[in-house]
Amino acid sequence: MNTDEIYMDRCIEIAQKGKFHVAPNPMVGCLFVSNDVIISEGYHQKYGGSHAEVNAYQSIPSDIDPKTCDVYVSLEPCSYHGKTPPCSDLLIKIKPNRVVIGCLDPNPKVSGAGIKALEDAGIHVIVGVLEERCEQLNKYFFKVQKFNLPFVTLKWAQTKNKFMARKSSSKESSKISDSRNDSYVHELRAIHQAILVGSNTVNTDDPLLNVRYSEGNDPLKVVLSPNLSVDCKKQLFSVGRTLIYNKTSNELFDNYQLIKIDPFNIEGILSDLFERGIHSILVEGGIQVIQSFLDSDLWDEAIVIESNNSWDDGQIAPLLNSSPVSLKQAYNDNITIYNKK
């Protein structure tokens, strides 16, 4: 890595400290560097709170002139008044030596306008340092800004011989993944704004779908139940809020809401969730629901947790025809991540 990349790598690292609190905003990290020394660091900590550039600027020691600094920031500085004022105005006021940017902000309200404002003010700007990693850091945000649809992560566990669930008549335990990976799964729940399952999963497993083994907030719960066969007495309905997508009814209850989608299809459901401000969804099953996302081609990433034990029979997991982008061993499981394309 060259010097600019080393500093950008640090921006990416500190940006991630905001991962449980900034959604649907992006995670952003920023450094002020002078004479090859990091003078201050800042990251976007909380949705609605000040941006990375402001936080970094505010921690510059009083004996340092920010004009002498190079500013590193993982996302193009914003150029419009949102919940906070434009970071490009702050940087123009400081007029640092250079501004080094990881990637463009895909938000149509910014999208190059932040860079233009800095350049028009005579600031030396460099764009595209560790660009792919900076974009990947905010893959949910990029998907939403470009396509007006939420980012969809499919997640399931399968045995070594590819069974994902027991036969419906079976009384045997259906737990597949190593319990030591529960914190990983719960972190996945916490970094998505919604968690989605089908009515069979609710009726059969009676899951809570909340975050218990990780830091972070509980996602909004979403149940697909085209014929309203879901049992609303199950425990997930006793806490938080749940949306039930179905073919026939719109109705509001204390803890859940029925939402009619006609014709009932994944695209209609995702558009409705997007309209409700949901930008990332973790699909946790079961087989039919995951298969319907695969069939409609409306998914972005699949995370498959494969245990090293086998079952005699069961229901076969979906088959993916994408190549894996990463594979890691975690306790007794292998976790493989696939991208749609």
| Residue 116 or 260 having the CB closest to ligand AOF | 116
With CB under 5 A as the contact rule, the residue among 87, 278, 283, 294 that binds Zn ion is: 87
Q: How far apart are CA 31 and CA 158, in angstroms?
A: 42
Of 41, 105, 284, 306, which lies in the binding site for ligand AOF, with binding defined by CB under 6 A? Answer: 105
Residue holding tokens 């979403």? 222
Q: Which is nearer to ligand AOF, 84 or 291 (CB)?
A: 84
Contact flag: residue 306 with ligand AOF (CB under 6 A): no
User: Which of the choices Zn ion, ligand AOF, none does residue 137 contact, using the CB cut-off of 5 to 8 A by kind?
Assistant: none
For residue 105, the partner it binds in ligand AOF, Zn ion, none, with Cβ less than 5 to 8 A by kind, is ligand AOF
Residue 143 interacting with ligand AOF (CB under 6 A): no
Q: Tell me which of 10, 51, 143, 234 binds ligand AOF, using CB under 6 A.
A: 51
Query: Please, what's the b/e burial string for 12-42 (b: 16 or more CB within 10 A of its CB; e: otherwise)?
Result: bebbeebebbbbebbbbbbbbbbeeeebbbb
Give me the half-sphere count of Cα atoms (radius 13 Å) on the Cβ side of residue 86: 18
> With CB under 5 A as the contact rule, which of the stretches 61-69, 86-94, 119-127, 208-216 interacts with Zn ion?
86-94
Contact pick of 16, 82, 227, 262 for ligand AOF (by CB under 6 A): 82
β-strand partners of 9: none
Which range touches ligand AOF (CB under 6 A), out of 46-54, 90-98, 234-242, 281-289? 46-54
Other Cβ atoms within 10 Å of 138 Cβ, number: 24
Residue 53 burial (10 A CB sphere; 0-12, 13-18, 19+): buried
Q: Is 87 in the site for ligand AOF (CB under 6 A)?
A: yes
Alpha-carbon distance of 53 to 166, in angstroms, equals 51
Residue 90 in contact with ligand AOF, rule: CB under 6 A: no
* Choices 2-10, 47-55, 125-133, 238-246; region in contact with ligand AOF by CB under 6 A: 47-55
Closer to ligand AOF by Cβ: residue 73 or 258? 73
Which part of the chain contacts ligand AOF (CB under 6 A), choosing from 33-41, 50-58, 95-103, 299-307?
50-58
Closer to ligand AOF by CB, 107 or 200: give it: 107
* Active-site choice (5, 41, 53, 187): 53
The one segment of 104-112, 205-213, 235-243, 278-286 that binds ligand AOF by CB under 6 A: 104-112
Would residue 251 show up in a list of annotated catalytic residues for this protein?
Answer: no
| Binding track over 60-79 against ligand AOF, x by CB under 6 A | ---------------x-xx-
According to CB under 5 A, which residues from 19 to 58 bind Zn ion? 51
State how far the Cα of 10 lies from the Cα of 166, in Å rounded to an integer: 45
**Residue 93: alpha-carbon gap to chain centroid:** 33
- For 60, phi then psi, to 5°, come to -70, 130
**Are the CB atoms for 203 and 230 separated by under 8 Å?**
yes
| Residue ranges binding ligand AOF (CB under 6 A) | 25-26, 28, 44, 51-53, 75, 77-78, 82-84, 87, 105, 107, 110
Residues labelled as active-site residues: 53
